[in-house]
Structure 1
Amino acid sequence: MTRATQPTRDGVAARPVSRVDEALRRLREEGERVTPGRRAVLETLDAAYGHLDAEAICAAVTETTPGVHRATVYRSLQALTDLGVLTHTHVPGSATIYHLTPQARQSHAHLQCTHCHRFFDLPVADLEPLRESVRSATGFEIDPCHAALLGTCVDCASSSGD
């Protein structure tokens, strides 16, 4: 994971800017408050391995920041998504998943196996030929980051004997 660095001062090496720091900077630039709930949600998602739904985020925030109420977590998720700091992806037959909004060069779509339910990240650029084809044929603009694409992963395909 690439992290930006802060400018150097007096020849002292800069420390990396964390994704949480970057998100908090964006909030402040928009004139938004940095609350304990918002910070806890951002830190939870930054530390997460994989994709988290709101329930998993609530559980983690409750563990790390006991004073933050679950309603605050849900309001924070909505506000941070509305502000573009978080990205959510709708998962068919399951809960919406959240993560910190990646930089444009790191944007990814989500693939989900309908058999084992694992998620896979796919660079958005890999879907560009499909997006262009649909755009040319119909004028429709696909948003590849908003919903998970369903299919069968290689492990499940090879174990099914097909």
Structure 2
Amino acid sequence: MAILRARGERVTQARRAVVEVLDATAEHLDADEIAARAEASAPGLHRTTVYRALATLGDLGMVSHTHVGGAAAVYHLTIDDPRLATAPSVHAHAQCTVCSAVFDIPVASFEALTADLMSDLGFQLEPEHAALLGRCSACRTSNA
């Protein structure tokens, strides 16, 4: 929360609740799931307020989101604060089209592609916003 204060932003109940929810899980949660979990520490917190908190935290670089498989945006922390339980990492996402499981992909996996796109097309890939679709190993094995 020191980051909010350092940037002249207020530490509201909603912002604190959103950060606490995201810090407490390794899951990729959409805004409705965040709102439901935040209800425990901030009773009566309206879903619209959660969306506004997510937007502000995103603008400040504390939270990132991506759209996985055409579904609602999912969120995760992107700040590096030793007081938080979850160590954030910059990553892309992959989603299984069979079971809907979501996996984190380190951006280092995209280094060659990023370099090729830049040299061939002048296109700068931002893999941390990427969401790839495919089939996970469990679903490939069971559907073989």
TM-score norm. by structure 1 comes to 0.79
Identity between Structure 1 and Structure 2 (%): 52
> Displaced runs of 4+ in structure 1, greater than 2 A?
none
Gaps of 5+ in 1: 1-23
Q: Structure 1: which amino acid aligns with 2:142? A: S
Q: Which has the higher contact order (CA 8 A, sep 6+)?
A: 2
| 1:47 corresponds to 2:24 | yes
Alpha-carbon shift at residue 143 of structure 1 (Å): 1.1
Alpha-carbon shift at residue 108 of structure 1 (Å): 1.2
| 1:146 corresponds to 2:123 | no
Which aligned pairs between 1:1-162 and structure 2 lie closer than 5 A? 24-103=1-80, 106-161=89-144
Looking at structure 1, the residues matched to 35 and 94 of structure 2 have their Cα atoms a distance apart, in angstroms, of 24
TM-score norm. by structure 2 comes to 0.89
Looking at structure 1, the residues matched to 95 and 69 of structure 2 have their Cα atoms a distance apart, in angstroms, of 9
SS of the equivalent of 2:64 reads strand
Looking at structure 2, the residues matched to 41 and 157 of structure 1 have their Cα atoms a distance apart, in angstroms, of 35
Give the greater-gyration-radius structure (CA). 1
Looking at structure 2, the residues matched to 36 and 135 of structure 1 have their Cα atoms a distance apart, in angstroms, of 43
Contact 2:35-2:45 within 8 A present in 1 as well: no
Looking at structure 1, the residues matched to 70 and 106 of structure 2 have their Cα atoms a distance apart, in angstroms, of 23
Contact 2:68-2:94 within 8 A present in 1 as well: no
How many correspondences in the alignment? 138
Alpha-carbon shift at residue 102 of structure 1 (Å): 5.0
Gaps of 5+ in 2: 81-87
Deviation digits for residues 9-67 of structure 1 (CA, Å, limit 9, x no counterpart) = xxxxxxxxxxxxxxx12111111111011000000111123110001001111233103
Match of residue 7 from structure 1? none
